[in-house]
């Protein structure tokens, strides 16, 4: 398995190559689809090689180019049902912030919206906890990790690589998401990710991190 990460506006998009297929994890901000396809081309893939566009959750920095990427590749869009409300309208839905200052920043974003609105959609494939994705050519299963959003999921590969979306960030260090719909669930989800004993975690924001870094962050919180 090979992973190629691109910065698509605000968040990371990961291109995962396995023997039987290519999967794109998160589609970036609006107007990023062509860039993603260009990177696929540089890796020797045609757009039609993409078997699935998997969204870790429904925020615009991850779902913004999902429809455009589907048009270019023909691949279905997969997401958890609990986030469908986020991609059904153009409103910018930022959950409450982790602190007062972060919440104030979210309120400003909510008030002004985003410069480029979300191209709305209904996913083609519904992701559920425990779902295996071998039909799409990858040795991975879905882990439901609500908190940042109700429909946030991680994708756990058999080789110990876990794509955590925004359930955990690693900008300067491993941390909880800046905004969260349900802090208690987010904390439980962080412990659930740790219980997977991942070899490496790839976040929606920031650099990859290993189990030691994860333990250092959540070790005291989890039973
Ligand atoms: Zn994000
Ligand atoms: Zn998010």
130 inside domain: yes
| pLDDT the model gives residue 219 | 81
For residue 59, how far is its CA from the centre of ligand 1 (angstroms)?
Answer: 7
Supply angle C-alpha 50, 177, 129, rounded to 5.
50
Q: How far is the CA of 49 from the centre of ligand 1 (A)?
A: 26
Q: What local confidence, expressed as pLDDT, does residue 203 receive?
A: 98
Ligand (nearest to CA of 95): 2
Output the CA 145–ligand 1 centroid distance in Å.
Answer: 14
37 Cα to the center of ligand 2, angstroms = 23
Query: What is the reported pLDDT for 202?
Result: 98
Neighbours of ion ligand 2 (CB under 5 A): 59, 166
Ligand nearest to the CA of 58: 2
**How far away, in angstroms, is 148 Cα from ligand 2 center?**
7
Residue 124 lies in a domain: yes
Question: Residue 159 and residue 138: Cα distance in Å, rounded?
Answer: 11
Phi/psi at 143 (5° precision): -125, 115
Cα(45) to ligand 1 centroid in Å equals 26
- Nearest ligand, measured from the Cα of 205: 1
88 within some domain? yes
Whether 191 is covered by a domain: the verdict is yes
Ligand closest to 62 (CA) is 1
Can you give the pLDDT of all 223 residues of the chain as single tens digits? 999 999 999 999 999 999 888 999 999 999 999 999 999 999 999 999 999 999 999 999 999 999 999 999 999 999 999 999 999 998 888 999 999 999 999 988 887 776 778 999 999 999 999 999 999 999 999 999 999 999 999 999 999 999 999 999 999 999 999 999 999 999 999 999 999 999 999 999 999 999 999 999 998 778 7
What pLDDT was estimated at residue 93? 84
Here the CATH number for the domain that contains residue 206 is: 3.60.15.10
State residue 102's pLDDT score: 94
Note down the domain range covering 69. Answer: 2-218
Task: Tell me, yes or no, whether 223 lies in a domain.
Answer: no
What domain count does the chain have?
1
- Find the ligand nearest to 11 CA: 1
- State in Å: Cα 56 to ligand 2 middle: 9
């Amino acid at each position: 398995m090979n992973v190629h990460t691109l910065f698509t506006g605000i968040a990371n998009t990961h291109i995962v190559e396995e023997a039987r297929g290519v999967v794109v994890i998160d589609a970036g901000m609006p107007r990023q689809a062509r860039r993603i396809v260009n990177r696929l081309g540089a890796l020797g893939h045609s757009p039609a090689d993409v078997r699935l566009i998997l969204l870790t959750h429904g925020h615009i920095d991850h779902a913004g180019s999902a429809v455009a990427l589907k048009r270019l590749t023909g691949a279905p869009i997969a997401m958890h049902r609990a986030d469908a409300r986020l991609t059904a309208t153009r409103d910018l839905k930022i959950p409450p912030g982790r602190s007062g200052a972060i919440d104030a920043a979210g309120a400003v974003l909510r008030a002004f919206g985003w410069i480029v609105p979300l191209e709305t959609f209904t996913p083609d494939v519904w992701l559920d906890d425990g779902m295996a994705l071998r039909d799409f050519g990858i040795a991975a299963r879905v882990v439901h990790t609500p908190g940042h959003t109700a429909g946030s999921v991680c994708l756990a590969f058999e080789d110990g690589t876990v794509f955590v979306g925004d359930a955990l960030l690693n900008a300067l260090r491993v941390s909880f998401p800046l905004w969260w719909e349900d802090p208690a669930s987010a904390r439980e989800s962080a412990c659930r990710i740790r219980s997977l004993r991942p070899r490496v975690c790839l976040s929606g924001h920031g650099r990859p991190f290993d189990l030691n870094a994860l333990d250092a962050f959540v070790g005291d919180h989890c039973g």
